[in-house]
Amino acid sequence: MDKLVLFNSKCLKKILNRRIGESKFGEHVITLKNVSNIYEQLKNLDVKYVIFGLPEDVGVFANYGKSGASSTWSFALKFLLNIQSNQFINPKDVLILGHLDFESEQNLVSTFSQSKKKDVIKARKIVTEIDGYVSHLVYQIVKAGKKPIIIGGGHNNSYGNIKGTSLALNKQINVVNFDAHTDFRAEEGRHSGNGFSYAYNEGFLKNYFVFGIHENYNSNAVLNHIDNIKTIDYTTFEAIEIRKEVKFKLEMKRALSLVSDSSFGIEIDCDAIENIPSSAMTPSGFSVNQSRKFVTFFGKHQNAAYLHICEAAPTKKTNVKVGKLISYLITDFIKANGSRNNSV
């Protein structure tokens, strides 16, 4: 894993804000000492969750989106490690692995222009390379019997999450996606808008439920296409929150009935959360508390295989908001999924 940069005690020391009389989450998490044979190391560790970051937004660029997702990992990690370690959560269940280093890819794409078709085509080829690294790391984590929690990057990384999990489990998997968009666009070269269509057409994804798509931002061509696939379903944000035709909790139950018969991934696109800085930020969306309820509801199911939080694009002014949001979602998943809630 030449792209994997381990999180270590030196990194932790820079981030952790110790306080007398308090025990911080970061003081008790597990880390690795070397990158050799990740699978064997993970297999022999008594942890349940492996957290790693994807600091890239090449896929967002390749989908004509707004950049910024590359910075999410560093902000999220800072806030996660400085929460309290107490009776509600056990950080010893958690390994902070590190991040995949896509700095060279980021630097190259920073010289590209979205107005030049040839640059977008080049970016899409780079996304395919990123896919390989993501799927390989996810494969090793799942094969070792752990649950990945993947932070940052564009929603292009859904493909690597799905493929890696599917290959590790040797079967197709299901996915529930909390998103304003279906991300089921045509196979026109890899980007953040077609991770699920590629995963489906290549046989890694079976049942797929998109929760809360925005009626104004999904093409008729894509909607007509998925309407003809029996293993794909969705509900719209407007049906739940604007017209009140269906209820939030009942739609979660309907989604669960489609995906829970086998291992499934939980994908959280921050585009769906109101006023959260993201590649397609919305002034009208689900609340932060609804997103937390969503992660808790699906996270508590035994077949939940991974959690991916993506598309957030924090700035210096909004990094606290984004960092806290993601730390809440991570810990909600861990608490719901069965962390040994022992006081540390």
195 lies in some domain: yes
Between CA 252 and CA 293 the distance in angstroms is 10
Query: What was the pLDDT predicted at 344?
Result: 35
131 lies in some domain: yes
Chain position carrying tokens 């991570």: 330
150 lies in some domain: yes
Mean pLDDT of the 316-332 span: 97
Q: Report whether pLDDT(341) > 90.
A: no
Q: Where do runs of H (alpha helix) occur along 170-231?
A: 195-201, 220-227
343 lies in some domain: no
Q: Report whether pLDDT(59) > 60.
A: yes
DSSP, residue by residue, 12-29: HHHH----TT--BGGGT-
Residues above pLDDT 70, as percent of the chain: 98
DSSP, residue by residue, 19-83: -TT--BGGGT-B--S--TTHHHHHHTS--SEEEEE----HHHHTTT----GGGHHHHHHHHHHTS
Q: At 2, is the pLDDT very low, low, confident or very high (cuts 50, 70, 90)?
A: confident
Query: What was the pLDDT predicted at 63?
Result: 97
185-198 per-position pLDDT tens digit:
999 999 999 999 99
128-176 per-position pLDDT tens digit:
999 999 999 999 999 999 999 999 999 999 999 999 999 999 999 999 9
- Number of folded domains that form the chain: 1
73-108 per-position pLDDT tens digit:
999 999 999 999 999 999 999 999 999 999 999 999
Residue 203 burial (10 A CB sphere; 0-12, 13-18, 19+): exposed
Q: Report whether pLDDT(41) > 80.
A: yes
User: What rounded mean pLDDT belongs to the chain?
Assistant: 96
Q: Report whether pLDDT(302) > 60.
A: yes
Query: What was the pLDDT predicted at 343?
Result: 38
Chain position carrying tokens 């960092």: 323
Q: At 1, is the pLDDT very low, low, confident or very high (cuts 50, 70, 90)?
A: low
Mean pLDDT of the 293-308 span: 98
344 lies in some domain: no
Q: At 340, is the pLDDT very low, low, confident or very high (cuts 50, 70, 90)?
A: very low
Task: Identify whether the C-beta of residue 44 lies closer than 8 Å to the C-beta of residue 135.
Answer: no
Please give the residue range of the domain that contains residue 143: 4-337
Exposure string for 324-343, b = 16+ CB within 10 A, e = fewer: bbbbbbbbbbbbbbebeeee
75 lies in some domain: yes
**Bridge partners for 94 per DSSP:** 49
The domain that holds 196 is classified in CATH as: 3.40.800.10
Query: What was the pLDDT predicted at 338?
Result: 82
13-39 per-position pLDDT tens digit:
999 999 999 999 999 999 999 999 999
21 lies in some domain: yes
100-124 per-position pLDDT tens digit:
999 999 999 999 999 999 999 999 9
- The two beta strands, 264-269 and 304-310, are parallel
Closest CA to 298 of 257, 256, 328, 334: 256
Beta-carbon contacts of residue 289 (< 8 Å; ≥ 6 apart): none
Query: What was the pLDDT predicted at 342?
Result: 40
213-244 per-position pLDDT tens digit:
999 999 999 999 999 999 999 999 999 999 99
